[in-house]
Structure 1
Amino acid sequence: MGSPPAAYQATAGGALDVNRPFYQRLAGETGRELVESFDVPIRSGRAWRVPRGHLCRLRTIDGPQVGDLNLWNADDPRERFWAARTRQLQRAHVSTFDRLWSTLPFLRPLATITSDTLENHGVDGEGGRVHDLLGTRCDPYVNRMLTGEDFDFHCHSNLVRAVAPFGLTEFDVHDVLNVFQCTGLNDDDRYFMKTSPARPGDHFEFFAEIDLLCALSTCPGGDLSVPLWGPDARDPIDVCRPIGVEVFKPPPHLLDGWTSPARAAYRGLHGVRQPQWGEPV
C-alpha cells in the first residue's frame, strides 16, 4: 500500500510549481560574481543582507557543522521565514528546488534552494534526513529547564546577538531551518538528532527571491555527534566547526524574465464587514 498523498497540492502551473531549468541555470558556477564572503566562528552568529536576485551559499569548511538559519524581508522584518508552512508546502527536510515561505499575511517564497551537495543523502537506516524543519533552535530557556544551568551560546542567543545591529530583538528570532542537521522521528514519534553527514566543502545554496536579511548560528552542539542533554551529555566543543558564507551575483542574462514574487493575493477582511461612511453605527 502506498503512502497517502500530500495534503497541500496546487493545480498544474500553480504557486507550488517551480521553473526547474531557471534555477538549474542559476546554480551554474560560470560567470557569477562573489560579492561577499566570511566565516561564522564556532558558537556564534552573524547577520547579513542578500539582495534579491543574488545567491547565498553556506559551506562546511573543516567538516560537519549544524547551522540554524533565520530569514526576514530586509525592508519589513514583520515578514519572516515560516518553518511550519514550509514544512507543509514543501517537505520536513528541504533540498534543491524547495522554497522557503514567509509568514502571513505575506505568504510568498523568500528563497528557493538552488544547490545542495547532500541532496542524495535520502533516508538513512534509522530514518534520518538532512536540512531539518521538524525541530527548531536550541535555546537557554530549555537548557536551564533541563539542566539547571545557564549557557549563553545556544542558537537562539547567537541569533539574538547577530540581529541586534540591524535593530531586531529576541522577539524577531523565529523557528529556523537547521542546515546540515540530520533528524527524524523515532518509533515513539519523538524527535531525534544524529551526527551530521556533511563533509568539508559541502554546501547548501539558495536564491533570494526578495531582499533578505539572513542570520546564521553555528550550533554549540557542532556536528551533533555528542548528546547535549541526558545521562551521556558532555561539552561537544571538540566537534564544533565554523561555517562559511558566500554571496554571489549571477550573470544578469540568467535573470531574464524573472520577477520578485508579489505578496499573497488575498486582501479580505476575514469576514469582517467594513462600515461605509454615513451608515448608522
Structure 2
Amino acid sequence: MYKHYPAAYQASAGSALDVDKAFYQRISDSRDRYQLVETVEVPIRSGRAWKVPAGHVFRISTPEGPQVGDLNMWHLHDPRERMWASRTRQLQGAHVSVHDRLWSNLPFLRPMATIVADTLADYGIDEHGGRIHDLLGTRCDPYVNRLLTGEDFDFHCHSNLTRAVLPHGLTEFDVHDVLNVFQCTGLNDDDMYFMKACPAKAGDYIEFFAEIDLLCALSTCPGGDLSVHLWGPEAEDPLSVCRPLRIEIFKVEDALLQGWQSPTSPAYKGQHGLALKEVDWDAQKAALGKGCC
C-alpha cells in the first residue's frame, strides 16, 4: 500500500516540472532533421569529455553490447553549476527515462538536460525491483576500492572522469555524483543498494536535449556490464565484460526549436534570513581618524 503514497514534489501547471512533452516528442520524432556535429568514442575503462551547445541533442549508445557509463555534466561557462543527483532523484525519480530532466545544484536549480529518447524505456521494473539509468548510487572510486580490498586501482569511474575533465580546467573536486546510464539497480529488502547485469544490447541508446550550454564527461565503468561480482568473496576481474561507449552530438534544425528557450534559475531575491545593515561611512571615518581614505 505504501508504494502508492504520493510523491513529495508535485508538478504545478506552468512550472519547470510541468514538461512540455509535445515539444520533446517533436524533437525525438525528427531525427532525420538532426545534423551530426561530433562523435566521441569512449574506450573501456576510460573517460572522455565533450561540449554540447544549448538546443543540441547528444546520444550515448552501446555500439558493441552492454556497458554501464557514469555521466557528469556542468554548465559550460560556469562549472560551479553542475548536475545535482539528489535533487533530481526527488524531482524526477531514482531512475530516469523519457521526459525526465537532470537538475543543477544551488543556487542555480534549473534543468540542464531533458531525456528525449531511451531504447530501454520499456524495461520497467524487473522481478527484483531493478530499474534502468539510476541516480541511487554514485561512481566507483579508488578510495572505496582501497577500503574494501586494500589495493589501488586507477581506472574507477571517479578517476576516469578526473582525467577526462583535466584538459577543461577542472579537477577531482569538480567530479560529482553521477547518472549511471544503462545500469540496472534497486534497493533490496534490507534497504541496501544492489546492481544487476546491464540489459542493453548493441545499438541501444539514450538521448538528451541540452537545455543550457554543457560540458559533459562519461566514464566506461571498469565493471563493464556488471554481470560479475566486483567485491566480496566471489569477486573476479570483469575485464572480459567491458565494452566501449559512443557519444554523438547533433545540431537540431532551428525550426524544431520554435517556442523553446533556455531555462533560467528561480528568481529568489531573499538573503537567507540575513539582514543587511547600511554602512555609516562618516562614522567609520571618524572612528578611524581623519587620514583614512
TM-score (norm 2): 0.94
- Residue of structure 2 in register with 1:180 after alignment: 182
1:11 corresponds to which letter in structure 2? S
- Residue of structure 2 in register with 1:8 after alignment: 9
Secondary structure class of the residue paired with 1:57: strand
1:21 corresponds to which letter in structure 2? A
Deviations 1:70-111 (A, max 9, x none): 000000000000000000000000000000000000000000
- Residue of structure 1 in register with 2:244 after alignment: 242
Which of 203, 206, 215 is matched with 2:205 structurally?
A: 203
Secondary structure class of the residue paired with 2:67: coil
Mapping for residues 7-156 of structure 1, pairs under 5 Å:
7-28=8-29, 29-156=31-158
The structure in which a higher percent of residues are helix is 2
- Residue of structure 2 in register with 1:219 after alignment: 221
Distance across 1 between alignment mates of 2:12 and 2:115: 22
Distance across 2 between alignment mates of 1:165 and 1:264: 31
Distance across 1 between alignment mates of 2:157 and 2:127: 28
Distance across 2 between alignment mates of 1:59 and 1:131: 13
- Residue of structure 2 in register with 1:160 after alignment: 162
More divergent stretch after superposition (156-165 vs 267-276)? 267-276
Secondary structure class of the residue paired with 1:260: coil
Secondary structure class of the residue paired with 1:70: strand
- Residue of structure 1 in register with 2:234 after alignment: 232
Q: CA deviation at 1:262?
A: 0.6
Which of 179, 195, 202 is matched with 1:193 structurally?
A: 195
Secondary structure class of the residue paired with 1:30: helix
Distance across 2 between alignment mates of 1:100 and 1:76: 17
1:270 aligns with 2:286: no
Deviations 1:243-262 (A, max 9, x none): 01000001110011111001
Structure 2 runs not aligned, ≥5 long: 285-293
Distance across 2 between alignment mates of 1:11 and 1:209: 20
Distance across 1 between alignment mates of 2:277 and 2:79: 31
Distance across 2 between alignment mates of 1:68 and 1:190: 20
Distance across 1 between alignment mates of 2:242 and 2:216: 21
Q: CA deviation at 1:267?
A: 2.6
Aligned pair count reads 281
Distance across 2 between alignment mates of 1:69 and 1:88: 18
Give aligned-pair identity as a percent.
69
* Structure with bigger gyration radius: 2
Q: CA deviation at 1:136?
A: 0.2
Secondary structure class of the residue paired with 2:255: helix
Distance across 1 between alignment mates of 2:60 and 2:274: 44
Distance across 1 between alignment mates of 2:11 and 2:224: 38
Q: CA deviation at 1:30?
A: 1.6
Runs of 4+ in 1 over 4 A off after TM superposition: none
More divergent stretch after superposition (57-66 vs 9-18)? 9-18
Distance across 1 between alignment mates of 2:143 and 2:266: 35
